Amino acid sequence: MRERVLVTGVGVVSPIGSLPAFWQRLCAGESGIAPVEKDGVDAPPSGPRLEARAREWNARDHVRPALLRRMDRCSQMLVTACRMALADAGLELAGSAAEEAGVVVGTAFGNLSESEQFLRGLFAKGPTLANPLTFPNLVLNAPSGYVAIDLGIRGPNLTAVRGEASGEAALALAYDTIVTGQADVLLAGGGDELAPVLRQIYIDLGLLSPNDGGKEWSSPFDRRRNGFVMGEGAAILVLETARHAEERGARVLAELVGYVAESIDASPHDWPTDDAAAHARGTARDLAGLGFRAPQGNDGAVLAVSCANSTRALDRAEAIRLAAIVGSTNRRAVVTSPKGAIGEFGAAGALGAAAAVLALAHGDVPRLGALGAADPDCTLTLAGREVTAPRDGFHAAIVSATPRGVGAITLLFRRT
C-alpha cells in the first residue's frame, strides 16, 4: 500500500501576485498581462508590447541578505515561493526534519538572464574577465540549491526539465520521491523567469501574440487566439506523507493522488497533431486506475487545468485530448487554463497545479477571463467569466501538460 501524499501548503509568486491575491484574481478572471517593462538589455524595438511579469513581491522580504546578494531572479522567486509555502503549511523544518525533507523544482530555462549576461561579457571581454560570481547561478538547479541552503533542507534536491511541462514533471517526480520513502516532506513545484534573450528568440521565431498583426493578448481556447504572451513566476506545493501531516495535525488542502505519463506521436520538436491528440486512451485508462473517471450523473464535479496557452496548435490539441479524458460537452467537467492570467513559461504548470489545489480546497473556479467565443470545434465546458462554481465544489482536479516533443503528463488531485 502506497503512502498517501497530501498538499498542506501553497506558495506563489506570479504576475497576479501571491496568495491570497493570486487565487482571488484567477477566480475573478483578472490578468497580470501588462505593458513591457524596460529591462535594459536589448529592449525589443518592435514586437510585443505586453508581458506578464511577476509583481507585488520583494525578495528582500523573504530571503536573507547574504544569500540574496548572490541569487538570480529565478532563484529569488523560487526561494520566496518556498518560504511562503512553508508559512502557509505552518511547517518549520529543523534538525532531523530538515534531513527528511527535500526540494523538487521544475524549470525549462532557469536563470537565462544571467546566462546571457555571462556570455555577453565573455564575448566582449574574453575569458580572463568572465564573471565567477554569476557562473554558479547558471546551472538549472541553482534555485533548488539555494532553497536547500536558505532553509537547511538536506534531503533529495532535484530539478526536472521538461520544456513547457517542467512544473508538472517536477510534481510527478516529487510524488515518486515521496512514495519511494525518500522524504517525509517535499517542497515541489517550479519557476521560470522572463528573460530578455528568450523574448527576442520568441519574437524572431514569430511565436508570440500577435503573430498575425491582430490584437495582442492571451486567451486560451479562444477562437481568435494568435500566439502566447510571455510570463514568469514560481509556485511551490508542500507535499507531505499522510502520516507526517497527521502527526503534526496539519491542515490538508488536497491529496496528490498520482500522475500519468503518456507519449503521443509527434516530432521531438513540435506539438501533437489533432489525430495524435485524440489518442489519450492511455491517460484515461491509467487515470481510471487511480480512481478517476469523467463525471457522470450525480458524480462530483471535476476541474481540468489545461496547459493551453493561446497558441492555435497547442490549444486545439489540448481540447481534443481533454475531451477524450473528461468527455466533451460534460457540464460536470470544467476546463480552464491560467495562461491568460500569468502568461506562458516552462514552469507555469506548477501555478496550474496550485490553482487546482486551491480550487479543491476553496470550491471556486479559476476563470478564463479573456475568453470571448470558444473555438467552434471545442466541445469542452470552458470556465468563462459566466461559469459558476459547482454548489458542492470540485471533488477532483487534473492538471494536463502536453509539451513539445509530447511526453504528456497528467496530475490527479483529489479533495480530502
Partner 1 sequence: MRGETGAGGAAPVVVTGLGTVNALAHSVDAFAAALRAGTCAIGPVTGFDATGYRSRIAAEVTNLEVPGWVPAPLRRRSSRSDLFALVAASEALDGSGLDVAAAPERVGIVLGATTGGMMSAETCLRDRIERRVDRYRMSPLLGTPMATSADLLAYVFGAGGPRLVLSTACSSSGTALGVALDWIRLGRADAVIAGGTESMCRTIFAGFNALHALAPEPCRPFDRRRAGLSLGEGAAILIVESAAHAARRNARVHARLRGYGMSADAHHLTAPHPEGTGAMLAMRRALARAGIAPDDVDYINAHGTGTPLNDGVEAAAIAAVFATAARPPAVSSTKAALGHTLGAAGAIEGLTTVLALRDGFLPPTVNLDDPDPTSGLDFVARTSRPAALRCALSNSYGFGGNNTTVVFERA
Partner 2 sequence: MTMDRETLKQKLKELLISGLRLQDTEPSTIADDQPIFVEGLGLDSIDALELVVLIEEHFGIAIPDEEVGKSAFASIDALAAYISAEQARAG
157-196 binders of partner 1 (CB under 8 A): 157-163, 166, 169, 172-173, 176-177, 179-182
Contact 208, 230 (CB under 8 A): yes
Name the nearest CA neighbour of 35 among 217, 246, 243, 285: 217
d(CA 238, CA 257): 14
Query: Judged by CB under 8 A, which of 66, 123, 376, 386 binds partner 1?
Result: 123
> Is 200 one of the binding residues for partner 1 (CB under 8 A)?
yes
Q: 164: which residues sit within 8 A by CB, 6+ positions away?
A: 108, 307, 309, 344, 346, 348, 349, 401, 403, 404
> Is 404 one of the binding residues for partner 1 (CB under 8 A)?
yes
CB of 153 to partner 1, least distance (A): 6
Per partner kind, with CB cut-offs from 5 to 8 A, the member of partner 1, partner 2, none near residue 387 is: none
> Is 156 one of the binding residues for partner 1 (CB under 8 A)?
yes
- C-beta of 70 vs 154, nearer to partner 2: 70
Count residues binding partner 2 (CB under 8 A): 13
Q: 147: which residues sit within 8 A by CB, 6+ positions away?
A: 78, 79, 82, 103, 105, 153, 157, 187
Query: Judged by CB under 8 A, which of 129, 297, 376, 388 binds partner 2?
Result: 129
Q: Provide the grid cell at 240.
A: 507531505
Task: From 48-56, 148-156, 186-194, 229-237, give the range in contact with partner 1 by CB under 8 A.
Answer: 148-156
- C-beta of 282 vs 300, nearer to partner 1: 282
Q: 74: which residues sit within 8 A by CB, 6+ positions away?
A: 107, 110, 111, 142, 143, 191, 192, 193, 234
Q: Residue 78: which region, alpha, beta or left (left: phi > 0; alpha: psi -120 to 50)?
A: alpha
Backbone φ, ψ for residue 187 (5° rounding):
-90, 110
- C-beta of 41 vs 252, nearer to partner 1: 41
> Is 133 one of the binding residues for partner 2 (CB under 8 A)?
yes
Contact 381, 335 (CB under 8 A): yes
Tell me which amino acid residue 354 is.
A
Per partner kind, with CB cut-offs from 5 to 8 A, the member of partner 1, partner 2, none near residue 402 is: none
> Is 130 one of the binding residues for partner 1 (CB under 8 A)?
yes
> Is 124 one of the binding residues for partner 2 (CB under 8 A)?
no
> Is 108 one of the binding residues for partner 1 (CB under 8 A)?
yes
> Is 40 one of the binding residues for partner 2 (CB under 8 A)?
no
Return the C-alpha torsion angle 377, 410, 146, 95, nearest 10. 150
Per partner kind, with CB cut-offs from 5 to 8 A, the member of partner 2, partner 1, none near residue 65 is: partner 2
CB of 341 to partner 1, least distance (A): 24
- C-beta of 28 vs 261, nearer to partner 1: 261
Q: Which sign does the torsion angle of CA 214, 307, 305, 341 carry?
A: negative
Window 59-98: contact mask with partner 2 (x via CB under 8 A): ------xx-xxx----------------------------
Count residues binding partner 1 (CB under 8 A): 74
- C-beta of 131 vs 273, nearer to partner 1: 131
> Is 139 one of the binding residues for partner 2 (CB under 8 A)?
no
d(CA 228, CA 218): 6
Query: Judged by CB under 8 A, which of 120, 125, 215, 223 binds partner 2?
Result: 125
Name the nearest CA neighbour of 156 among 169, 139, 173: 173
Window 232-261: contact mask with partner 1 (x via CB under 8 A): -----------------------------x
Q: 65: which residues sit within 8 A by CB, 6+ positions away?
A: none
Which residues of this chain interact with partner 2, rule CB under 8 A?
65-66, 68-70, 125, 128-133, 136
